[in-house]
Amino acid sequence: MSIEQVEAYLEKRRRDFEDRLKELLRIPSVSAQPDHDEDTRRAALFVRDDLRASGIAAELIETKRHPIVYGEKLDSPGRPTILIYGHYDVQPAEPLEPWLSPPFEPTERDGNLYARGATDDKGQMFTHLKAIEAWLKTTGGLPINVKVLIEGEEEIGGENLEEFVSKNPQKLACDYVVVSDTSQFAPGAPAITYGLKGLAYYELIVHGARSDLHSGMYGGAVANPCNALSVILASLKGSDGRILIDGFYDAVRPLADWERAQFAALPFSEEVFRASLGVTELVGEAGYTTIERKWARPTCDVNGLYGGYQGPGPKTVLPCKAGAKLSFRLVPDQDPSTIRELFQNHVRKVCPPGVTYEIIDHSGAAAVLVSVDSPGVKAASRAIEAGFGKAPVFIREGGSIPVVGLFKTKLGVDTLLLGWGQNDDNLHGPNEKFNLADFHRGIRASVHLFAELAKDRPESAR
């Protein structure tokens, strides 16, 4: 049996693969919303049953919240083992108003499939499931050993997977983890991602008087939590884009000259990028290019703000409470728990008098960098070339996939980040999409990845 026959299977099944993906996309598996807990479970069952239909022994592993799907086929002794990781949960679709077609009714327009989860991560994750199916239905076996781990809490930074990975290093042991949950560099420029940012996410709540007050009667005499919060937030960054928290940059690994040169050599126009976003100019940390800021420099952003009167028309109120959700994207070698301390010290120092505050931790993850010259990366490059007709470029990304750090620390393995998405896929936003040609190219690349990795001896046999 040859890989050509596996590829012929892909051609024959194109429509069916699309239809199955649409079925999965119709399930509103929004992990954050308890109203959707049943749907989220249905998505897990869909993934389990899809694996079973292909001939993979798969089961649901219950957690305190959303189940993990685990499957394996380990009958290629002496060959490498990969662990395919992905997630079947999605971000909330709200606000619904900007969606041109309903988020859970997958709709094709201009060669793209629009739906919540299309690119993040159902469509991307599904490429590997279909590659498995193609190998098994064509040849009856897989050229390498495959473990599959698809979780349902990625979008809520769930701790249940962390616990599962920590407690099951033997079960999950592998030579490489394979993840498709990132993007290509550009259309026609597939990429291997070798760096992801970490994340430190907080909610800062400022409290003032016992209750809301008349702003004329009390204003000027009583501290206003909205004003105080603004003072704190404004103190976080200088006009040169530098974060002003003492010690914040201490552990930041400086960009190497070779890496700056490599970033600069990528075909990227700051002007096209600016115009595509509809902003008047690009801003950020002085002394760095846009790509460097996006991929390799730490950032600080307010993700949400509340406090005071939000209804129509004016209300002259002096609010008793204000809050901000804010996050730091971290780079190697910043440690999320150190950042927590530094942030706390900073707020203590700058918080104006007359208010109190609390800091709630939402999620923390360290940044990751993976080797770019492992045999796995070389195999993945050849596979991408076969699937996409073009060799990949090597990039970093500003997003985070917290479990990738755990795969390194708990299992001691590198992750191959093979993203099939595009930068304008609008993940987490309205009108999320996934290009259908990329979907099929991704499946083809995955089919080739298995074959390319089979040419290597496993790490354990070296």
Indicate the length of the chain as a whole number: 462
| CB 31 to ligand BES: min, Å | 10
Look at residues 203, 284, 276, 271 and name the one whose alpha carbon lies nearest to residue 241.
284
**In angstroms, rounded to a whole number, what is the distance separating the alpha carbons of residues 30 and 36?**
6
* 120 forms part of the interface with Zn ion (CB under 5 A): yes
Shortest approach of ligand BES to residue 5 CB, angstroms? 33
Give the residue with the Cβ less far from ligand BES, 199 or 379. Answer: 199
Give the bridge partners for 305, in sequence order.
Answer: 324
Kindly tell me which residue out of 54, 145, 160, 400 binds ligand BES, with binding defined by CB under 6 A. 400
**Smallest distance, Å, CB 120 to ligand BES?**
5
Tell me which of 7, 155, 452, 456 binds ligand BES, using CB under 6 A.
155
Residue for token pair 């010290």: 345
Nearest to Zn ion by Cβ — which residue? 120
Whether a cis peptide bond, with omega within 30° of 0, leads into 336 is no
Cβ at position 432, least distance to ligand BES in Å: 11
String marking each residue 110-129 x if it binds ligand BES according to CB under 6 A = ----------xx--------
Scanning residues 62 to 91, which ones bind ligand BES (CB under 6 A)?
none
Find the residue with minimal CB distance to ligand BES: 399
Q: What minimum distance in Å lies between the beta carbon of 125 and Zn ion?
A: 12
According to the binding rule CB under 5 A, does residue 397 interact with Zn ion?
no
Token pair 């109190």 is at which residue? 356
Using an 8 Å Cβ cutoff, are 379 and 175 in contact?
no
How far apart CA 229 and CA 207 sit, in angstroms, is: 9
Q: Which of 29, 160, 182, 381 binds ligand BES (CB under 6 A)?
A: 182
Cβ nearer to Zn ion, comparing 387 with 421: 421
Cβ-based neighbours of 386, under 8 Å, separated by 6 or more: 444, 445, 448
CB-count exposure of residue 137 (10 Å: 0-12, 13-18, 19+): middle
Q: Pick from ligand BES, Zn ion, none: which does 180 bind, CB < 5 to 8 A by kind?
A: none
Of ligand BES, Zn ion, none, which one does residue 182 interact with (CB within 5 to 8 Å by kind)?
Answer: ligand BES
Cβ atoms of 106 and 26 closer than 8 Å:
yes
Nearer to Zn ion, 68 or 453 (CB): 68
Cβ distance to ligand BES smaller for residue 182 or 224: 182
Q: Contacts with ligand BES in 360-399 (CB under 6 A)?
A: 363, 397, 399
Cβ-Cβ contacts under 8 Å for 22 (sequence gap 6 or more)? 106, 113, 115
Q: Which is nearer to ligand BES, 145 or 446 (CB)?
A: 446
- Stretch near ligand BES under the rule CB under 6 A, chosen from 6-14, 18-26, 154-162, 295-303: 154-162
Return the residues of window 195-214 that contact ligand BES according to CB under 6 A: 199
Report, in Å, the least distance between residue 156 CB and ligand BES: 7
Minimum distance of Zn ion from residue 403's CB (angstroms): 12
Question: In angstroms, what is the minimal distance from the CB of 451 to ligand BES?
Answer: 26
Residue 402 interacting with ligand BES (CB under 6 A): yes
**377 versus 401: smaller Cβ distance to ligand BES:** 401
Q: Is 425 in the site for Zn ion (CB under 5 A)?
A: no
Residue 69 Cα distances to 40, 79, 150, 200, 237, angstroms: 12, 24, 5, 27, 42
Burial 182-205 (b: 16+ CB within 10 A, else e): bbbbbeebbbbbbbbbbbbbbbbb
3-state class percentages of the chain: helix first, strand second, coil last, to nearest 5 = 40, 25, 40
State the helix-helix crossing angle for 402-411 and 160-167, rounded to 10 degrees. Answer: 20
Q: Nearer Cβ to ligand BES, position 181 or 456?
A: 181
Distance CA 83, CA 259 (A): 29
Q: Does the footprint of ligand BES cover residue 183 (CB under 6 A)?
A: yes
Comparison of 86 and 208: residue with beta carbon closer to ligand BES? 86
Spatial separation of the C-alpha atoms in residues 401 and 160, rounded to whole Å: 15
Q: Which DSSP string corresponds to 394-424?
A: EEE-SS--HHHHHHHHHH---EEEEE-B-TT
Nearest 5°: CA angle at 402, between 401 and 407?
100
Least distance between ligand BES and beta carbon 399 (Å): 3
Q: Which stretch binds ligand BES (CB under 6 A): 71-79, 150-158, 300-308, 442-450?
A: 150-158
Contacting residues toward Zn ion, per CB under 5 A: 120
Contacting residues toward ligand BES, per CB under 6 A: 120-121, 154-155, 157, 181-183, 199, 363, 397, 399-402
